């Protein structure tokens, strides 16, 4: 079977990895524990974990004001998300702008014990060798999807024992005893029964461990995916977490689970919410990445002198691009206007009022090629300076058929623009096909167009009919915002006098 490498090959692999890992005392203790020839694969597994441990940690945050004084805050002290948001606003009225700041980072390699590693390895191997659906996985697949002891930045805990036998009686009733998808559904039905999404945890920046989730039975997307990883990996299922840093046509971001078969087929689902085969992403994606335990040496963090000065979601050392597993993709080549010192460019999507970097590329002779971009999305090229994105070219559309169309507002050729909404909605039409307005009567709206930044094209107060802005630059990318904007309004272009949403 795939898992059984020759002893010489495994021994060579272990020796090379141990050399690369140096002489970490915990690794040495683990290798000494697995000194028998029959434990050669476990030695290889141990060196895999330590060779890729760099950057894995438990991160804790404090809520601080502008003076960095800590402001006490407990999400579960509020009865609802709405109450929490109102109270947070009141806190900002009192203390000024509040933000979550890293309190401490506890690196795995500074606290992990030999006993912890040995327990995880032994239990992972037991699941791999004993569960019928796991026997077809190669050693590489085992290391990538079953062996890792953490899902993200949660506290280190020994979660395998809790789940290892929890589902044995349910597994016995499966119609196909070696079907990993059916086994995943068995586990997920249990998680759905007792763990639930709660938006209050958007304000809980630290990922929960198993003990925390057992206590709260609530969490955000990252908690749901981690809990599912714990329960399923403990039973020999190759489950991971995929995510989009920013939706391409909406605000916010999302993480979900994916189960990988021994043949390499990927099936997305939402742990504690929807089973494999029943789950569909709610919005459009420009990029999908997969969290990995293994360090990915081709990632951006290894291409720059200062990996701490990078856009948030592209700074990790441990993720891979899996966009093509989800949507049709195209490469996007862009000519850029950049300072000579800039060697890395970014392609951005518009999300909650900001252009957010979602892919990077090296700049060569004033051009950059962004690989595997999701189609039917509006993008903006830029570079990163002083902690923010700086535009480096015109906004563009990557159309559904793969064409690239630049959106350049022509200030010399103005036009009349009719708008009926600030976000994409199903438009009601009367019997004479006259589109109705979804704007709030009496509200003042501002029409912006993109030209190296958002420029104002005009203001108007809504009535019962669609708003019309005269003398607006033609051919551009537009953004209609209300006077009390929450920045969740969507950008659009104009085609045949109608708003086309991006």
- At 278-330, the pLDDT tens digits run 999 999 999 999 999 999 999 999 999 999 899 999 999 999 999 999 999 99
Instruction: Kindly tell me the sign of the dihedral angle through the C-alpha atoms of 420, 423, 427, 433.
Output: positive
What residues form DSSP beta bridges with 34?
none
CATH class (in words) of the domain with range 112-283? alpha beta
Model pLDDT, residue 308: 86
Model pLDDT, residue 299: 98
Among candidates 223, 281, 216, which has minimal Cα distance to 252?
A: 281
Among candidates 223, 255, 73, 253, which has minimal Cα distance to 154?
A: 223
Model pLDDT, residue 11: 39
Model pLDDT, residue 22: 56
CB 63 within 8 A of CB 98: yes
Phi-psi region of 236 (alpha: psi -120 to 50; beta: other; left: phi over 0): left
Among candidates 468, 451, 456, 461, which has minimal Cα distance to 483?
A: 461
Which are the contacts of 89, defined by CB distance < 8 A and separation ≥ 6?
Answer: none
DSSP 3-state assignment of 381?
A: strand
In the chain, which residues have pLDDT < 70? 1-22, 425-436
The CATH architecture that domain 328-407 belongs to is Sandwich (2.60)
**Does this chain's domain 328-407 share its CATH topology with 410-501?**
yes
First-to-last C-alpha distance (Å) of the chain: 49
Q: Where does residue 97 rank: exposed (0-12), middle (13-18), buried (19+ CB within 10 A)?
A: exposed
Helices (H), 167-295: 168-171, 180-194, 210-216, 221-233
Alpha-carbon distance of 269 to 100, in angstroms, equals: 30
Q: Which helix (H) or strand (E) holds 362?
A: strand 354-362
Pick the CATH number of 410-501 from 2.40.50, 2.60.40, 1.10.10, 1.10.132: 2.60.40
Alpha-carbon distance of 276 to 267, in angstroms, equals: 6
Q: Where does residue 258 rank: exposed (0-12), middle (13-18), buried (19+ CB within 10 A)?
A: buried
> C-alpha angle 405/410/415, rounded to 5°?
105
Domain residue ranges of the chain, discontinuous segments joined by +: 1-50, 57-106, 112-283, 328-407, 410-501
Q: What is the pTM of this model?
A: 0.93
Model pLDDT, residue 437: 80
């Amino acid at each position: 079977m795939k898992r059984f490498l020759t002893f010489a090959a495994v021994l060579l692999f272990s020796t090379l990895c141990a050399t690369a890992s140096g002489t970490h005392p915990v690794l040495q203790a683990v290798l000494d524990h697995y000194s028998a020839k029959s434990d050669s694969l476990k030695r290889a597994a141990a060196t895999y974990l330590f060779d890729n441990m760099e950057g894995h940690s438990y991160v804790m945050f404090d809520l601080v004001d502008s003076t960095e004084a800590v402001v006490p805050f407990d999400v579960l002290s509020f009865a609802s998300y709405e109450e929490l948001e109102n109270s947070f606003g009141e806190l900002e009225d009192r203390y000024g702008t509040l933000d979550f700041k890293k309190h401490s980072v506890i690196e795995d390699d500074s606290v992990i014990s030999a006993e912890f590693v040995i327990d995880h390895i032994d239990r992972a191997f037991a699941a791999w060798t004993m569960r019928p659906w796991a026997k077809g996985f190669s050693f590489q697949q085992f290391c990538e999807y079953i062996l890792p002891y953490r899902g993200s930045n949660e506290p280190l805990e020994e979660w395998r024992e809790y789940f290892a036998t929890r589902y044995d009686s349910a597994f016995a009733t499966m119609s196909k005893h070696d079907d990993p998808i059916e086994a995943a559904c068995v586990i997920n039905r249990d998680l759905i029964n007792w763990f639930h999404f709660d938006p209050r945890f958007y304000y809980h920046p630290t990922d929960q461990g198993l003990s925390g989730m057992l206590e709260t039975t609530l969490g955000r997307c990252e908690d749901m995916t981690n809990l599912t990883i714990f329960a399923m990996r403990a039973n020999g299922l190759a489950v991971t977490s995929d995510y989009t840093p920013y939706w391409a046509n909406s605000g916010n971001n999302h993480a979900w689970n994916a189960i990988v078969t021994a043949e390499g087929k990927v099936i997305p689902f939402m742990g504690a919410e929807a089973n494999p085969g029943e789950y569909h992403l709610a919005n459009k994606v420009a990029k999908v990445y997969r969290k990995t335990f293994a360090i990915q040496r081709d990632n951006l963090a290894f291409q720059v002198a200062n990996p701490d000065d990078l856009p948030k979601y592209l700074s990790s050392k441990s993720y891979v691009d899996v966009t093509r597993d989800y949507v049709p993709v195209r490469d996007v080549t862009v000519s850029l206007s950049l300072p000579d010192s800039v060697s890395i460019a970014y392609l951005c999507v518009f999300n909650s009022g900001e252009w957010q970097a979602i892919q990077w590329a090296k700049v060569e002779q004033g051009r950059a090629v962004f690989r595997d971009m999701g189609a039917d999305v509006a993008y903006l090229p830029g570079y990163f300076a002083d902690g923010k994105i700086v535009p480096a070219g015109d906004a563009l559309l990557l159309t559904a058929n793969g064409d690239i169309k630049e959106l350049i507002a022509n200030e010399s050729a103005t036009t009349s623009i009719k708008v009926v909404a600030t976000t994409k909605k199903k438009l009601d039409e009367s019997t004479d096909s006259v589109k109705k307005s979804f704007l709030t009567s009496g509200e003042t709206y501002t029409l912006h167009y993109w030209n190296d930044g958002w420029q104002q094209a005009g203001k108007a107060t809504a009535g019962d009919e669609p708003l019309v802005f005269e003398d607006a630059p033609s051919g551009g990318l537009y953004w209609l915002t209300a006077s009390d904007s929450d920045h969740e309004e969507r950008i659009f272009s104009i085609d045949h006098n109608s708003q086309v949403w991006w």
